[in-house]
Amino acid sequence: MKIIFLGTPDFAVPSLLELLKVSWIKVLAVCTQTDKEAGRGKHVKTPPVKDIALKNNILVFQTEKISKDPELIQKIKNLNPDILITCAFGQILNEEILTLTPHGAINVHASLLPKYRGAAPINWAILNGEKETGISIMKTELGLDSGPVLLQDKCEILENETSVEIFNKLSKIGASSLIKALELIKNGQAKFIPQDNSKATKAPSLKKEMGLINWNKSVLEIHNQIRGLQPWPSAYTHYQGKTIKVWDSRGVPWNALQTVDENIAPGTIVDISDHITVHTGNGDLNIYKLQPENKKIINAKDWINGARVKIGDKFE
């Protein structure tokens, strides 16, 4: 089976590596986004998928917008692939591209469709407190993640797992799911089931302002915000006029609550030990790791000592 793989970030790497292990699959080329300048030094950063492809002597195409790149589309057509595979490619495919191959295009999507269609399904699943997510292998259509689904594999979301941890788990599950899907297609056993559009939910791109913690919200909402917005934009608050990012938290069990006084304002630090306990809209939240402005992530205890934090101080 001759394949062209369209993917860009780390999430797509396990799928590409798995394809390269299978004897009956030939990866003709990889298509990825263009190199980008990153960091304060404006160093050029290449897509992880490109790096893997070059190490394995695979032809690499790069484009800013594939649907408006007729030269690239012709190059893909000339390679005569059997199927296109997209995995976190980050670009929309037009009708011409979707109909280039006998088997069209399939996509590795990080949610249990029709839930969480869009660019940030892992983050939104955690933000909404979901207990499970998964991988969907679907036929790529013009609509946003709306194509019929070939197979799904589920993954539990534990109460303290972050979006980074689920990202890593699903990238590996996605690689396995992809090979199973291709075997079904190869053997003529693929059955694509239409999605129930009435149950569809969206997972739009994240915005920086989503990270600002509103301490009036519940313990669970804030905890989900902290673990669901990693690595970007990350949950953040303000202390004495400076931005503090919060990276690790746990809700205080109801039977161990230190704070029952409704007169204590949300955001108030109510206890200090090896962590910080902060009062929220409905209880207390323990914070174990944070990041002072322009500094590295540190343990809460180190920040307490360095910033001379006192009980009664308040996050804004």
User: Is residue 84 within 8 Å of 4, Cβ to Cβ?
Assistant: yes
pLDDT band at residue 288, thresholds of 50, 70 and 90?
A: very high
Lowest mean pLDDT among 14-18, 61-65, 191-195, 254-258: 254-258
- Could you say which of 3.50.50.60, 3.40.50.170, 3.90.180.10, 3.30.70.260 is the CATH number of the domain covering 2-199? 3.40.50.170
Kindly tell me if the per-residue pLDDT of 260 is higher than 80. no
Q: What is the maximum span of the chain, computed from C-alpha positions, in angstroms?
A: 71
User: Is residue 196 within 8 Å of 171, Cβ to Cβ?
Assistant: no
The topology (CATH level 3) of 208-307 is: Methionyl-tRNA Fmet Formyltransferase; Chain A, domain 2 (3.10.25)
Give the residues across from 250 on adjacent strands: 286
Beta strand 59-62 pairing with 83-87: unpaired
Rounded Cα gap, residues 300 and 298, in angstroms:
6
User: Closest by alpha carbon to 215, among 233, 235, 241, 231?
Assistant: 235
Kindly tell me if the per-residue pLDDT of 52 is higher than 70. yes
Higher pLDDT, 24 or 262: 24
Rounded Cα gap, residues 177 and 181, in angstroms:
6
Q: pTM here?
A: 0.94
102: preceding bond cis by omega (within 30 degrees): no
Q: Around Cβ 187, how many Cβ atoms within 10 Å?
A: 8
Amino acid at position 56, single letter: N
Domain with CATH 3.40.50.170 in the chain: 2-199
Tokens representing residue 149 in the block: 């689904």
Q: Mind listing the pLDDT tens digit for each residue in 132-180?
A: 999 999 999 998 999 999 999 999 999 999 999 999 999 999 999 999 9
Arithmetic mean of pLDDT, 268-287:
94
Q: Around Cβ 8, how many Cβ atoms within 10 Å?
A: 24
User: Is residue 219 within 8 Å of 177, Cβ to Cβ?
Assistant: no
Arithmetic mean of pLDDT, 180-208:
97
Arithmetic mean of pLDDT, 217-227:
96
The 3-class secondary structure across the chain, one letter per residue, is CEEEEEECCHHHHHHHHHHHHCCCCEEEEEEECCCEEECCCCEEECCHHHHHHHHCCCEEEECCCHHHCHHHHHHHHHHCCCEEEEECCCCCCCHHHHCCCCCCEEEEECCCCCCCECCCHHHHHHHCCCCEEEEEEEECCCCCCCCCEEEEEEEECCCCCCHHHHHHHHHHHHHHHHHHHHHHHHCCCCCCECCCHHHCCECCCCCHHHHECCCCCCHHHHHHHHHHCCCCCCEEEEECCEEEEEEEEEECCHHHCCCCCCCCCCCEEEEECCCEEEECCCCEEEEEEEEECCCCCEEHHHHHHHHCCCCCCECC
Apex 62 CA angle, 207 and 169, nearest 5: 55
| Mean predicted lDDT score pLDDT of the chain | 95
Arithmetic mean of pLDDT, 64-77:
96
Using CA atoms, how far residue 128 sits from 65, 133, 159, 224, 278, in Å, is 32, 11, 12, 7, 21
Kindly tell me if the per-residue pLDDT of 37 is higher than 90. no
Arithmetic mean of pLDDT, 8-22:
97
Kindly tell me if the per-residue pLDDT of 71 is higher than 70. yes
Arithmetic mean of pLDDT, 88-114:
96
Residue 123, phi then psi, degrees to nearest 5: -60, -45
Q: Mind listing the pLDDT tens digit for each residue in 196-213?
A: 999 999 999 999 999 999
Arithmetic mean of pLDDT, 72-90:
97
pLDDT at 256: 47
Kindly tell me if the per-residue pLDDT of 258 is higher than 90. no
Domain with CATH 3.10.25.10 in the chain: 208-307
pLDDT at 252: 77
